[in-house]
Structure 1
Amino acid sequence: MSGNINYIQPTQPSSSQIKWSRIKYVEMQEELKGYWADDTWNPNENPLKGSNDIRGVYIYFEGLPNILKTEIKYACYQKIITKEWGWVTLHQAKATKINYLIKFLQNCENLVSSIIELEVKQWSELLTSYLIRNQIFSQREYEMITKEKKRKKYTAKDETIYTFGVLYQTIFDYYDDRDEYDKDIWDLRKLNFHLDNLVDKNKFDFTPIKQDWLRNSSKKFIKYKLALVSTSLCRFRLYALVQFSDFIEQQYSSVVPCQINRHLVLAFLSYLKSQNFTDQTHHKILTSLKDFLEICSREKWLDITGIQLFYQDDFPRYNRSRTPKYIPESVMEAINKNLEKIPERVDQRMYLILISCGMRISELCNLSMNCIKQDSSGDFFLQYYQTKMKKEITIPITREVTIIIQEQQQKTKEKYGQDVWFLFPSPRRKDRARGKQSFIKNINLLIVENNICDENGNLWHFHPHQCRHTVGTSMINNGVPHHIVQKYLGHDSPTMTQVYAHIYDQTLKKEIAKYHDIRVVNVAGEVVESTNPEIDNNLDLHILKKKVLAQSLPNGSCARPIILGECPHANACLTCGDFRTTIEFLEQHKTQLESTKKILKNAEEKDWQRHAEMNKRVKDNLEKILNTLESGNQ
């Protein structure tokens, strides 16, 4: 490859621009040891390869100036030790692109001594020119289904440019010693926020805010709001402030905080109208800006006049639909009928879990590998973290859903190893959750290709949140009490659940009384100790399980693991070690004991030894069960 890079005078760095540090550089060098310090990375000698008989591409660092060489090596090494890249990613997916970058940087020796001397945008422009000139520039096209049910093609960034951006950010972050809140791009993981790990969801980028005073006050505002509301709501607040910054840049470029007045707000109203936002988005942007200016004035972060800036009439009215957007039964049946046509089995499993459990898509994508628990009755529960409500939730799940999750656990471990955390990891990075976009795209492609329409003949457009509305509506329609639906969906207040229906007052006194004694007894009359006492001792969960899941036995339940297959003991539950029962079945056991005694007496009189032997075991076990249940009920 040929072509020298013409010198371009870099822009004057801003006051926050990070400088190269010799101390940091030396620390980088000291961290690169053994294989990672070599100038040639042989894929067959990489310590990550193990005994796998697979081929990879060599990476050659020769010819790079020492500082650039160390920085690129260090960035790649960091991706390895953080487990964002593995052997396959490094030597098969990235190696050729990294070699392109090295050739490119060899021509930049007279331009810079360190990667961070130019901003990433400048590097991108230079690298793009280089790749085009050497005929190795490549952009991948992919297809999505729009809300208008039309196929639309998008173009992805050249993979070499994308890889450089990732490495650049790693190097930049290493030289940057500032507090995370002082940076222009926050990594919420470093701020210890429990959030979803979807692509680009863990970063807050303040760089689009062009005015220093607005950017600095926006950081204070978002830091304050993060302690009070969800990260997704804070992300929209930041989006609204970017819109305000664009407006100021275009129409009031020299304005300072003390000049923010009603006249400027009126101009912003006109600006928003010209941007063709929906009334709902328009309303939310104004609400966010009003909140920002009021808090900045109250906390004295900005010198803003005390006069009223906003009035009720400023906010456009919009009809927020309170009708749940559930999936019609005919559409659901058609999707289920054609689900196996989706090439990715993982997308099939994701859909089946969503439509069964009613969780949000971000919660599904962020499920942990160990997300299912079993109680002493043999029933399964799903545990996951709700980022919107900032709490962990536990819900009962059917055995069919349990099988689906167990199948996904097995496939994930086979592909990513035993130490993987996510049930649905990203295809490229096992330390990240799988993104939602490919899932949504594949379900909508299935709908388009199979012409799945609603009752009016309109092609259905799928969105994951419809599954949540479907579950809520179905539970209400099947008579599940309002507060049980509220707990199952993890709603913070009854008002949120009322989206699905208006429910009459109901009581669960009988159910609560039954579960005051929630001890579980086996056929020997022994109390079964739980491996998950936090589940077995939770009264609410038992009521929830009773209302959501049907019990498999009329006098108890079976704790036989699903993976063992169907039960081999036909009609022999009271002599089976997998049988479990509780106080709520006391009367059934008393009735069955009297019946068994009569059968046993008849068998003994007629000398039916085998029949008598089996019924004697049943009688003995029933007496032990009754003994234990009644002793705890007195």
Structure 2
Amino acid sequence: MKGMNKVKNLKKIGFEQSKYDEIIKYLIQDNGYWLENDKWDLIEGIFIGKRIYSSRYIDFSSFENIYLKNELKYYIVYSFKEKLLKNSYIVKITHTFKYLLAFINENYSKYKSFNDIDKNTFRLKFRNFLLNNGFKLVGNKISSNEMNNIPYILDFIKDFYDDREETEKDICYSKNIQGAKIPASGANNTKNNQINFNEIPMYYRYTVKRYFKTRITKNSWSTCCEYLLRVNYFFDYFYTNGYNDEFLENICREDIEKYIFYTLNNRKDRAKIETTKYIAWIRTFLEYIQMAQYDKAPKREVSFLIFQDDIPKRELAGDVIKRAKFIPEPILKQLDNNIMDLDRPQYIPIYILLRETGWRGTDILNLRYHNCLEQIWNNKEQSYNYYLCGEITKTGIVQLKIPIRDKVAEMVQKAIDKAKVSSTEENNPNKYLFNTYEGKLKGKPLAKQSLLSTMKRLIEEKDIRNANGELYHFKTHSLRHTRAKEYVEQGMGISVIQQILGHRSMQMTVHYATVSENVLYEKWKDTEDLELFKVDIVSNKLIEVDTSTDDGENLIRYEYVKKNLDAVRVPFGVCFKASKVPCKQQMNHCLTCASFCTTTENIPEYEEEIQKVKSQIEISDKFGRELWAEKNKGYLKLLETTVEKVREHKLVHKNGKSREDS
């Protein structure tokens, strides 16, 4: 047994030595500047290039322990080169070196790596050391953020020496996980570039990490970070209130009731949509680990622990969207007319594309110059049409192509040409169309927040105000809602709008499918002008209609249709045959014909027709026309059955190989 342990220890020593050699190799970069010099000059071209807070140097010369010094150097250089920390924050951390050195000399002078130091012990000792040297406590923390953050250096070094798969580590970095859904702008700071499991109790840490491994490539990275916050909150509540290891396996309804009561009271002034996650997401987590038979899952059925009624009611997605702020037409015209006066011209084409397409800001910023513009042959017009091509990351559409006007395509082509000239493998490795070519965010798309700031300055300069006389507040997503509204008002079908906007479901598109108050008024005015139903407001009796007038003729025609005609929705129109006359083709059409062939290319037509038929059924039900509703329901069933077969077989032809299934 001792022999085996000795072999393991030798392997561990060998492994740690090889990792330490990696650190040395990394520090040899830039002609050995980082390794050989203990006093780094901030104004050097290979470093920050300027003074920060009047500081010019980062001085490591006082560190006598060469191993810890080189690990600390590696942390600083790597964080600088990979843009994990702001340059100003790096300089702030180095201000703590005087205290850190004295602390290390007192407690860890003989250690050969930060990896050998227990973080919790280090944190406690370092806090006491600082208190003994004049620092004060604010709550449970030292009054200096830089001092409080020193222990995170241990996390970084321990992660470096940890050779396990990324999702098995206590800290997972997004850049090291293949398939992680990272936004185009990246995840570049400690708030969103990592998922840190260190706050999860050790007893349950493996369980939580195993669960997150199932989600980390399915949900966006930001959603995973949010999810961990809720799980942390859940465990923190129970451990803070005296529960111990194994509490989860034996948890009962009474325990959950206490948690829910605390959560709802603790978050009573917070947004309900967020509070809901502290209960609903926990239920999802517990349900999964129970169904997957994790050894530390609750023994009781989760359905008996957390009830549906426990979850606070929140606004539905549709309700949130209905409250979305469409840009009023007068303001929209002012923005469009003044957009060329933006003080940062590189954002002009971004705004124009947001207006033209209705895409999300992140989708426009994610465009790549080598594949974002394409010409596709149009048989009907006998010419090539321009299409904008991009990845819709939120809904997982790898490449969406939508038509754009020639003038807009010309603008995109100019941006492409400019990007090609300005881009190198070093400053734009991902070939972003709207790239940042220098600075901390070099190689990332232009920032959406910078666009908003630029638009805000334009609004102030041009004095663009809302109906209340206040300067207009601009949001990029408002352009998306506004463009969707324009599509609807132009008569575009819902299924086509869904494809252009890159929605996952038509239901989401329907929420966008509204019209402006002006168009609503015009439609209402049209019906008012008909005056089909004239009522004496005194006697509440119908006034006799003069059938010789246009109004009377309209009313008579409506009543005739209502009583005698089917008015059944059919492809490309409505059938107005007499209700007593049978018709074999009215509900069958070509769909059941032996010569009929349909493919996946026709799916948008089916989807549009299905929506129209459903609308017709709603009207029929509303006015009590059971015959209309019944026949349209039959037609709807035929449509839905057919499109289901098309999706399954790709091609449906009764005289083809799928005939027996048709």
Tell me the TM-score normalised to structure 2 length.
0.58
Structure 1 pair 40–222 and aligned structure 2 pair: CA distance change class (3 A) = closer
Q: Is the 8 A contact 1:83 1:430 kept in 2?
A: no
Instruction: Please say if 1:400 is aligned against 2:398.
Output: no
Q: Could you say what the CA RMSD is over the residues aligned between the two structures, in angstroms?
A: 4.9
Q: Is the 8 A contact 1:386 1:392 kept in 2?
A: yes
Structure 1 pair 458–238 and aligned structure 2 pair: CA distance change class (3 A) = farther
Q: What is the Cα deviation at residue 23 of structure 1?
A: 4.2
Deviates more, 1:352-361 or 1:489-498: 352-361
Q: Give aligned-pair identity as a percent.
A: 21
Cross-structure match for 2:211? 221
Deviates more, 1:380-389 or 1:109-118: 109-118
The aligned runs of 1:236-247 (5 Å cut-off) are 236-247=226-237
Instruction: Please say if 1:259 is aligned against 2:253.
Output: no
Structure 1 pair 369–478 and aligned structure 2 pair: CA distance change class (3 A) = same
SS at match of 2:298: coil
The one of 259, 262, 272 aligned to 1:268: 259
Structure 1 pair 163–303 and aligned structure 2 pair: CA distance change class (3 A) = closer
- What is the alpha-carbon distance in structure 1 between the residues aligned to residue 327 and residue 335 of structure 2? 10
The aligned runs of 1:62-461 (5 Å cut-off) are 62-64=61-63, 65-78=65-78, 84=83, 100=95, 105-110=100-105, 111-112=107-108, 113=111, 114-116=113-115, 117=117, 119=119, 122=123, 170-193=156-179, 194-196=181-183, 197-199=186-188, 200-209=191-200, 211-251=201-241, 253-254=243-244, 256-274=247-265, 275-276=267-268, 277-301=270-294, 302-306=297-301, 308-320=304-316, 321=319, 322-323=321-322, 325=324, 326-336=326-336, 343-375=343-375, 379-394=385-400, 395-398=402-405, 399-400=407-408, 403=411, 406-407=414-415, 410=418, 414=422, 419-421=428-430, 422=432, 423-425=434-436, 427-440=439-452, 443=455, 452-455=464-467, 460-461=472-473
Q: What is the Cα deviation at residue 28 of structure 1?
A: 2.2
- What is the alpha-carbon distance in structure 1 between the residues aligned to residue 442 and residue 571 of structure 2? 46
Deviates more, 1:385-394 or 1:406-415: 406-415
Structure 1 pair 436–368 and aligned structure 2 pair: CA distance change class (3 A) = same
Q: What is the Cα deviation at residue 470 of structure 1?
A: 1.8
SS at match of 1:316: coil
- What is the alpha-carbon distance in structure 1 between the residues aligned to residue 148 and residue 570 of structure 2? 57
SS at match of 1:472: helix
Q: What is the Cα deviation at residue 192 of structure 1?
A: 0.7
Cross-structure match for 1:39? 37
1:331 maps to a residue whose letter is I
Q: Which runs of 5+ in 1 are unaligned?
A: 1-17, 135-156, 510-537, 544-634
Q: What is the Cα deviation at residue 331 of structure 1?
A: 2.9
- What is the alpha-carbon distance in structure 1 between the residues aligned to residue 570 and residue 125 of structure 2? 63
**Alignment deviations for residues 399-440 of structure 1 (CA, whole Å, 9 cap, x no partner):** 336526844873797598654424334841324455544444
Structure 1 pair 182–494 and aligned structure 2 pair: CA distance change class (3 A) = same
Q: Is the 8 A contact 1:372 1:380 kept in 2?
A: no
Q: What is the Cα deviation at residue 396 of structure 1?
A: 3.2
- What is the alpha-carbon distance in structure 1 between the residues aligned to residue 126 and residue 416 of structure 2? 42
The one of 501, 506, 510 aligned to 1:489: 501
1:75 maps to a residue whose letter is Y
Q: Which has the larger radius of gyration?
A: 2
Cross-structure match for 1:612? none
Cross-structure match for 2:621? none
SS at match of 1:287: helix
Q: What is the Cα deviation at residue 498 of structure 1?
A: 1.0
Cross-structure match for 1:621? none
Q: Which runs of 5+ in 2 are unaligned?
A: 1-11, 136-142, 377-382, 516-567, 574-599, 606-662
Q: Is the 8 A contact 1:473 1:501 kept in 2?
A: yes
The one of 21, 28, 35 aligned to 2:23: 28
- What is the alpha-carbon distance in structure 2 between the residues aligned to residue 323 and residue 28 of structure 1? 54
1:218 maps to a residue whose letter is V
Structure 1 pair 242–55 and aligned structure 2 pair: CA distance change class (3 A) = closer
Q: Is the 8 A contact 2:373 2:413 kept in 1?
A: no
Tell me the TM-score normalised to structure 1 length.
0.60
**Alignment deviations for residues 430-486 of structure 1 (CA, whole Å, 9 cap, x no partner):** 244555444445545665786644445566443332222222221122222222211
**Alignment deviations for residues 259-295 of structure 1 (CA, whole Å, 9 cap, x no partner):** 3222222222222221123232233332211211111
SS at match of 2:373: strand
Q: Is the 8 A contact 1:476 1:501 kept in 2?
A: yes
Structure 1 pair 104–228 and aligned structure 2 pair: CA distance change class (3 A) = same
- What is the alpha-carbon distance in structure 1 between the residues aligned to residue 255 and residue 263 of structure 2? 12
**Alignment deviations for residues 78-123 of structure 1 (CA, whole Å, 9 cap, x no partner):** 457x66499xx98xx7886576465555444414344453749949
SS at match of 2:353: helix
**Alignment deviations for residues 226-255 of structure 1 (CA, whole Å, 9 cap, x no partner):** 354444443443232233234324445337
Q: What is the Cα deviation at residue 46 of structure 1?
A: 7.5
SS at match of 1:498: helix
Q: Is the 8 A contact 2:253 2:305 kept in 1?
A: yes
Q: Is the 8 A contact 1:40 1:58 kept in 2?
A: no
- What is the alpha-carbon distance in structure 1 between the residues aligned to residue 206 and residue 42 of structure 2? 49
Q: Is the 8 A contact 2:373 2:409 kept in 1?
A: no
Structure 1 pair 30–367 and aligned structure 2 pair: CA distance change class (3 A) = same
SS at match of 1:189: helix
